A and B are shown apart, each in its own frame.
Chain A
Amino acid sequence: MHVIFLVHGMGSSTPGWSKSARDILRKHYKPEKYAFLADFAFDAHFAFAEINYNNIFDRYLVEAGKQADKLGRWSKLVDPANQVLNGLLGRVVAAASTPPSKGFLVTHIADVAFFMATDLGEHVKSAVASQIAARLAKGKFDPAKDSWSVIAHSLGTRVMTETLQVGFSAAPGFLSVGKARVLLMAANVSRLLQEIVPPVFNAGDVYRNLVYPSNGPLGVCRHFINATHRLDPFAFIKEFDPPATFGDGNALADGLYHPVKLATSDITDKDVHALEHYLEHPAVHSTLFRYLLPGTGRKQATRQEMEQAMAEYHQATLAAQVTNAWRARLQALKDEQFQKLEEVLGIWEKYGDLLA
């Protein structure tokens, strides 16, 4: 059995979040559509395992809300005219007694800040590692005959980059169950977050770490697929686009790194950043299927099959509930400045407004 882990991105994901992504993969995994799949029935070969970590951020925010509530109620008993409450002390009390909002910035961006700049990130990584290890436990998984792969999205790409980096470096570690077969990163923000996080929170170097594909004993996977949509404001700001020296220096030359770049016209839904939007694209799911299957990756969709799949996909883009004016506003985000953190946050906030 080939276990495919699905790792969510930023925002409010709850258990069961991956159903739509799983449904899309099943929908397209059809020998009638791609003949090379004929010998490997989906259910006989693949099993999904959903990874959840958003509960860690949620729990913290709920607890912060309780603290704020308690502090807010009790501090009202102290006279607000009390001069001592001016200055730093007063400002901290005000900050602590303000419950976290449920706006786009908190549900999405706070996840990123918590992950990168606090130990909540360590909690997330340990939880993700633990979920993967539990699914690959003896009795449920045999490294001698079973395989595993990861599909990560958005913040999940950074989470998996950090989890796999340490999980494969340290002992005891993931090498005890073997490397992943495929690592699919959709809307990969690992490089972006490395760049925008203040240097005091050392974020390493994603082009010179262990998270690369390799035929050798190092690396974390056999194939690394990186999918980027040209209009995805989380992916285009600092695109994950490794140089020839990526990993051990052989990943690109050996043909194990597979970049998939989606055109600006390929929009079937407003949320171009969504994992589902990526998986719907024939270039993404056919590349994934090609390397998920056992074998050397030699077999793939034929040119005619891809043309047919793209024709169907383009029909779907015409049916998308997206106006030209909306497209223009999305496109305009690319023309904004995004050198500084506040500029990046500004673009994401505007994208959130576009989805509202």
Chain B
Amino acid sequence: MTCSPSRWFAALAATLLALPAWGQADPCAAKSFEDRLLKRYTVDACWKGDAALRKRFEGVTRGFAGKNAPTLTWLDLGRLQLREQAGAVQVPAGGARQFQELKDRLGLAVAQIEGLRSLEELGGAASAESFKLLQINQWDIDGRDSSFGIRHLEEKGCSDEKSPDEACTAAYATAVELTDHVFVVKKVLSVLREPEAAAMRAQFAQREARWASYFYDTQFPFWWELAANRYLEQYCGDGFHGKVGRLLVDEACKRPKEDPAGNPIEWREPPRYRAIFLHPDIGVQYLREEPRGERLKPALVFQWAGYQWWDWKDDKASDVRALSLVSTVADTATQKRHGLGVQVQWKGFAVALTRHGSELAITLNLRLVDRMQELDEEWSAKLKRLKD
């Protein structure tokens, strides 16, 4: 085999790059064996610097995406990975007792994953106790029950700052071997939970977007309406609010489940309907029986009570509809100033029909008036174009 100068220089450069820079402190160095052990797993440069550990750690991710991936479920792949890690722990004769403890703990973890019927079963606090050893933090390298390496150092009296002697150097090597196993098992359990973590992010983002839409893509709720609706949602059950929900959107409001102390254990989802309560607004009223020039008047539209409801479309409230009992008040010249009736809303446009004595008034909300004005301008422009 020939060795060209360029290859020789490339090899030299690679070697130099792999060495710590002159004068630069070793990022993995520490004053005590315990800190050195902890840094090994918390500083990327340290665990990645050990080629064997890096291969095992990164091999977990590859294992989940490997040749078995298309035919097996994520849980099946997790089982394979965990069994493999359990098999990798060798208990040396006369060696540290922590190896046997680790082996036993891993055996229990494997038994738990074998008993798991689906990944969904693993989620939430309710199942955390049943599948205790499949929880990520049960494999913290410094956890109470999983810090085999740290415990080994303590047992050998090698945790604290001291000049490294042969016994402690050997104890450190054993601690590393033990903790490497724990580190990789934690990786298996972390990858196992990735689908749930992705679902969590998507669900959280959607919930946030829907709550924002709940406030700002529907009729704006005044603060007393917010409080009233919170109360109604809290105590909906089979009461009036629940029945209205079933009628309007085919689903009743749902009080999130609670633990025995009354703490919620579910998120409150943004509802698809909301009560309207003492909601004032402004509109333009038309009353035909008023004298000419007095027929159109600004009016106060006061929704006493009602409901609005909508559909969720791409996390936005769409097709918002509402029905409410209203009063309208205007400075009428000859007719009753106050009228009582109903208002219907659709996509932010509202029309109220109210009776003022024997007369019927029509009141449009400003958004509808604006829209009609726009349409009027559009029609004028069209007519003008036709004329031209």
CA distance A75 to B301 in the complex (A): 10
Which among B127, B199, B230, B327 is the interface contact of A119 at CB below 8 angstroms? B230
Q: Does A70 contact B (CB under 8 A)?
A: yes
Size of interface on B: residues with Cβ below 8 Å to A: 100
Contact status B197-A295, CB under 8 Å: no
Give CA–CA (A2, B44) in the complex, Å.
Answer: 12
Contact partners of A119 in chain B: CB under 8 A:
211, 214-215, 226, 229-230, 233, 268, 270
Any A CB within 8 A of the CB of B88 = no
Q: A40-B39, A129-B204, A134-B201 are in contact. Are A201 and B230 (CB under 8 A)?
A: yes
User: Is B212 touching A177 in the complex (CB atoms < 8 A)?
Assistant: no
0/1 string, B106-148, CB within 8 A of A gives 1? 0000000000000010011111110110011110111111010
In the bound complex, residues from chain B placing their C-beta under 8 Å from that of A122 are 211, 267-268, 270
Q: Is B251's beta carbon under 8 Å from chain A?
A: no
**Counting chain B CB atoms within 10 Å of each CB, which of A138, A145, A171, A179 scores highest?**
A171
**Shortest distance from the beta carbon of A34 to any chain B beta carbon, whole Å:** 14
Binds A, one of B16-24, B71-79, B90-98, B275-283: B275-283
Question: How far is it, in angstroms, between the C-alpha of A296 and the C-alpha of B211 when the chains are bound?
Answer: 41
A118, B227: Cβ atoms closer than 8 Å: yes
* Chain A residues near B36 (CB-CB < 8 A): 39
User: Would A215 and B211 count as touching, CB distance under 8 A?
Assistant: no
Contact A209–B261 (Cβ < 8 Å): yes
CA distance A218 to B135 in the complex (A): 9
With A and B bound together, what is the CA distance between A210 and B127 in angstroms? 14
Q: Are A44 and B27 in contact (CB under 8 A)?
A: yes
* Contacting pair A126 B204 (CB below 8 A): yes
From 63 to 78 in chain A, residues with beta carbon under 8 angstroms from any chain B beta carbon are: 63-64, 67, 70-71, 74-75, 77-78
Does B42 sit within 8 A of A, measured CB to CB? Answer: yes
Task: Tell me if A171 and B331 are in contact (CB < 8 A).
Answer: no
Cβ of B200 and Cβ of A92 under 8 Å apart? no
> A137 interface residue, CB < 8 Å from B?
yes
Known contacts: A144-B186, A172-B123, A176-B123. The answer to whether A204 contacts B267 by CB under 8 A is no
A143 and B234 contacting across the interface, CB-CB below 8 Å: no
Contacting pair B331 A82 (CB below 8 A): yes
Report how far A201 CA is from B235 CA in the complex, Å. 10
Given contacts A144-B187, A175-B125, A296-B150, contact A215 B196 (CB under 8 A): no
Residue A333, interface by CB 8 Å: no
Q: Which of B216-224, B316-324, B376-384 forms part of the interface with chain A?
A: B216-224
Known contacts A89-B327, A118-B230, A119-B230; A209 and B222 CB within 8 A of each other: no
- A residues in contact with B338, CB < 8 Å: 84
Residue from B193, B220, B234, B330 in contact with A200 in the complex, judged by beta carbons closer than 8 Å: B234
Q: Are A89 and B137 in contact (CB under 8 A)?
A: no
A26 to chain B, nearest CB (A): 19
Nearest residue in B to A134 (C-beta to C-beta)? B201
Query: Is residue A96 within 8 Å, beta carbon to beta carbon, of the partner chain?
Result: yes
Residues of B within 8 A of A30 (CB): none
Q: Is A294 at the interface (CB under 8 A from chain B)?
A: yes
A174 touches B200 (CB 8 A): yes
Residues 12-62 (chain A) with a chain B CB within 8 angstroms: 38-40, 44-45, 59-60
Q: Please, could you name 19 A-B residue pairs with CB atoms under 8 Å apart, sorted by A?
A: A75-B282, A82-B337, A117-B230, A119-B215, A129-B204, A133-B200, A133-B204, A144-B189, A166-B264, A169-B124, A169-B265, A170-B124, A175-B135, A205-B263, A208-B263, A210-B125, A217-B131, A295-B150, A296-B142
- Which 6 residue pairs of A and B lie closest in terms of their CB atoms, listed nearest first? A171-B123, A171-B124, A204-B263, A118-B226, A169-B265, A208-B261
